[in-house]
Every structure is written in C-alpha cells, then in structure tokens.
C-alpha cells in the first residue's frame, strides 16, 4: 500500500537582535579563500540569473522556473542572523500533533566563505567566556565545538556577493516529521516536493522561504 502525507515547511532568515549581546565575546572568523586559477571562470550573478525571477529582500532570491531551483544571494559574511523554521500547514491529525504554525526551533548562524564553498555555521553560545582576556575567550571557543549546518557551492559571484543553490537545503525533513507518521512506513519523495513560491518572500529585514514536502 502506498502512503502519502503532504506538509509545508517555512524557513526564515532575519537580523539577529542577539548580535548586540554577542559583540566582543569572540573575534570574528577570518575569511579563508583559496581559489584555483586553473578552474573555469565563475560567472557573474547577472549572467547566471538571466531569465530568473528576482525577489529582493534581506537575502535576495532568484527563482529558476525551468529547473525548479531557488537561488540565494549572500553578501553578509561573518554576520550573525537568526535562522528559524516551522510548519506552515498542519497535517490534519490531532493524534500525530503536527499543527499549523508549530515552531521548529531557532538558531544564530553566520555564512563563512572558504574557497569555493559557503558554510552555514552555528556558534556555540551555550559555553562562552565573557572576558577581556583574549586567551580565556580562545580557550573556551576551542574547547566547545560549533556546528556547521550546511555547505553551499559558489555558483556565481559579483563584487564579493555570491550566489548559492538553496534547493537541497530546503527540501528535507528538518522537523523530523517522518518518524512521527503512522501507521505505515514513510520517506521524503523529492519528486513530489518543491519550493512553494506563493509564500516565498523577501523583506528589508528578513527573507522567508517555504517548501511543500511529500
């Protein structure tokens, strides 16, 4: 028997008000760039996004209708932003408990460039040194690991701004819905999942991305 459940998941990137509290606790990580001159020349963002629909906002978005992919422009490196997620639509079952508007947690992240990659990194603020002594700050930073949530490949670049493909990052079960579905056995079917463009929007202080997952 084939089982199918559909739900919508929403992501947010917005300015982090906690940034004001974090200033001075640790030195920002340096950009590590190691570009291979033998590689093919990276196109500009303008060249790459020709014929794509642009959505201006905190992080500008580009929708490729033909390929069904969503691209994001990143110019804010080593800047803390809030990354939030939640269910945009419920499953219609009180027993399972997946309700519309249910939050999926929030985290502070930064985008860091390392050569041809952009890493989405979450600093570890559970353990930190509030001190004027740089050795103490460094000791605590080195003792407790941070988390790298995703790695993106730079697909285009213009004046320090880069373009990355967000599609694979978005179309996944970050809310761990699948283990809660019953009866039956379920898996995420990417062929029946897609970016939900009517609710993917950009604003001056935040960017919202929504996907429909099956």
pLDDT in tens, 36-71: 444 578 999 999 999 999 999 999 999 999 999 999
Closest CA to 141 of 166, 117, 124: 124
92: Cβ–Cβ under 8 A, 6 or more apart, which residues? none
CB atoms within 10 A of CB 102: 14
What percentage of the chain reaches a pLDDT higher than 70?
Answer: 70
184 φ/ψ sector (left φ>0, alpha ψ -120 to 50, else beta): left
Would the pLDDT of 192 be above 50? yes
The pTM (predicted TM-score) of the whole model is 0.77
Q: What is the pLDDT of residue 116?
A: 95
- Which residue ranges make up each domain of the chain? 7-213
The CA distance from 168 to 121, in Å, is 17
Would the pLDDT of 33 be above 50? no
């Amino acid at each position: 028997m084939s089982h199918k459940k559909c739900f919508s998941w929403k992501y947010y990137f917005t300015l982090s008000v906690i940034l004001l509290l974090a200033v001075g606790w640790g030195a920002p990580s340096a950009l590590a760039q190691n570009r291979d001159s033998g590689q093919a020349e990276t196109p500009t963002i303008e060249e790459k996004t020709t014929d794509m629909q642009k959505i201006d906002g905190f992080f500008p978005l580009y929708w490729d209708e033909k390929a069904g992919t969503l691209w994001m422009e990143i110019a804010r490196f080593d800047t803390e932003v809030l990354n939030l997620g939640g269910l945009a639509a419920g499953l219609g079952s009180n027993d399972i408990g997946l309700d519309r508007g249910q939050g999926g947690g929030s985290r502070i992240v930064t985008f860091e460039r390392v050569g041809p990659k952009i890493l989405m990194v979450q600093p570890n603020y559970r353990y930190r040194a509030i001190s004027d002594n740089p050795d103490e700050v460094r000791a605590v930073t080195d003792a407790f690991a941070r988390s790298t949530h995703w790695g993106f490949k730079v697909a285009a670049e213009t004046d320090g701004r880069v373009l990355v493909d967000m599609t694979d990052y978005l179309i996944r079960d970050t809310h761990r819905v699948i283990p809660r579905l019953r009866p039956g056995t379920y898996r995420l079917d990417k062929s029946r999942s897609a970016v939900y463009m009517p609710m993917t929007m950009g604003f001056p202080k935040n960017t919202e991305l929504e996907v429909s997952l099956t």
